[in-house]
Amino acid sequence: MEGSKENCVPRIPLIPSSNLQGPRMKPLLHHRLPLGNISQNVNMPHSQVNKLDLSRKCTAHTIQHHFPQETKKQNLLAPNPSCKLDCDIVDIDDDDGDGSDDAVPVFVKHTEAMLDEIDKIEEVEMEDVEEEPVLDIDACDRKDPLAVVEYIDDIYSFYKDIENSSCVSPNYMTSQLDINERMRAILIDWLIEVHYKFELLEETLFLTVNLIDRFLERQAVIRNKLQLVGVTAMLIACKYEEVTVPTVEDFILITDKAYTRNEVLDMEKLMMNILQFKLSMPTPYMFMRRFLKAAHSDKKLELLSFFLVELCLVECKMLKFSPSLLAAAAIYTAQCSLYQFKQWTKTTEWYTDYSEEKLLECSRLMVTFHQKAGSGKLTGVYRKYNTWKYGCAAKIEPALFLLDN
């Protein structure tokens, strides 16, 4: 995994963490191996080696996982032991040509220092393999005021505390007489395209959808005013999030002049009254930023995660999941899609506060949306993420294996 630091396990550089193992991958090392036998035991499939980033020196701090969960994170930070590799890794590419599926071994070429050590302590057994450490993802940002490290835990615990107040009932549409879930989906799919056309900030889109749902939960709307609700919600979200705000005229034009200026401004007042100006609500975007950092994401993972979470915006049934769960599940599903095996490190679990198990229901739904994203009538998200600007993330194969178990 590009940019990952989770492979920095002290003294045994080649052990991947347990959750890096694919469905059929055998454990690579037994506990308490004699030091002298390492070279005989480090055989692993060649493809698996490529999934591990062994080139990085691990400079991040770690959180020792045996501490109780409720202890404040700051108290758990401990320096990570040096992770310099004691050996050089040499890939042997010459296949024996028999066409067998046997794993190509990775030979360990011992350095002089290592040979000395083996000579001295041939019979000394290794200590138990340490559990995968939790990295302090903010360690390198302590001196950067833009990272607001001293407040980051407070900020995200505040988000977690209030996120339920921003949620709506997943079946609120049943109280609407003239509109339904399908119409909502069409509206949001269209707004995703408008958002793309106006080149707005990502958070503006998430806030727009949040405002629409919270408004529609409280206010009955006739179908020919639904698009008006959508553009007005985006106007309000722009005023809250953007530095440069599109004008009312821009939004009228994008609806092909379906509404007048007064209709937009009256709807704005109505929405603000109904929502009581409560716009500081946590959305999946807010959690995505933090959780992607915990996942040590690269651009590919980030784009795929956002593709998956935006697919969820269109789906009414996804309203049953909290914003933080949606964000975590999107990253988990994206990792599974990219690496084609289950991937959820202790670090991501720690910072998201979700175990792999808690994410599976949401994640499986995301896989089904990913699977049918390019087909059907609502393909706004798919087309957006099929562009070079968004890394053609929509073309990445879905993690279908998540649907099997």
Partner 1 sequence: MLTLREKYYDFDQISSKVFKCRRDDQFFTMKIVSILNEENQANNGVPYWIIREISILKELDHINIVRLIDVMTDGPDLFLVFEYLDNEFQADFLKNPKMFMYPQMKKEFLYQILNTVAYLHARKILLRDLRPENILVNVRTQVLKIALFGAARTFEAPLEAYSSSVGCLSYRSPEVLFQFGCEKYSTPNDVWAVGCIFGEMLLHRPLFSGPSDVELLDEIFTLLGTPTEETWPGVTSICGTCALMGPPQQPKDLAKEFPMLNPDGLDLLSKMLCLCPNYRISAEDAVKHPYFKGV
Q: Of 42 and 267, which CB lies nearer to partner 1 in the complex structure? A: 267
Q: Of 16 and 230, which CB lies nearer to partner 1 in the complex structure? A: 230
Q: Of 141 and 353, which CB lies nearer to partner 1 in the complex structure? A: 141
**C-alpha to C-alpha distance for 291 and 286, rounded to whole angstroms:** 9
Q: Of 251 and 385, which CB lies nearer to partner 1 in the complex structure? A: 251
CB of 159 to partner 1, least distance (A): 8
CB of 37 to partner 1, least distance (A): 46
| Residue 225 phi, psi (nearest 5) | -110, 0
CB of 286 to partner 1, least distance (A): 6
CB of 197 to partner 1, least distance (A): 19
132, 346 contact by CB (below 8 A): yes
Question: Is 209 in a helix, a strand, or coil?
Answer: helix
CB of 269 to partner 1, least distance (A): 5
AA letter at 84:
K
Q: Of 184 and 296, which CB lies nearer to partner 1 in the complex structure? A: 296
Q: What is the dihedral of CA 145, 137, 140, 297, to 10 degrees?
A: -100
CB of 257 to partner 1, least distance (A): 17
Q: Of 227 and 232, which CB lies nearer to partner 1 in the complex structure? A: 232
**C-alpha to C-alpha distance for 27 and 29, rounded to whole angstroms:** 6
Question: In the complex, which residues of this chain contact partner 1 (CB under 8 A)?
Answer: 143-148, 150-152, 154-155, 158, 162, 201, 203, 235-236, 239-240, 243, 245, 247-248, 261, 264-265, 268-269, 272-273, 276-280, 285-286, 289-290
239, 268 contact by CB (below 8 A): no
387, 318 contact by CB (below 8 A): no
Tokens representing residue 80 in the block = 């990570």
Q: Which residues contact 209 (CB under 8 A, 6 or more apart)?
A: 188, 191, 233, 283, 313
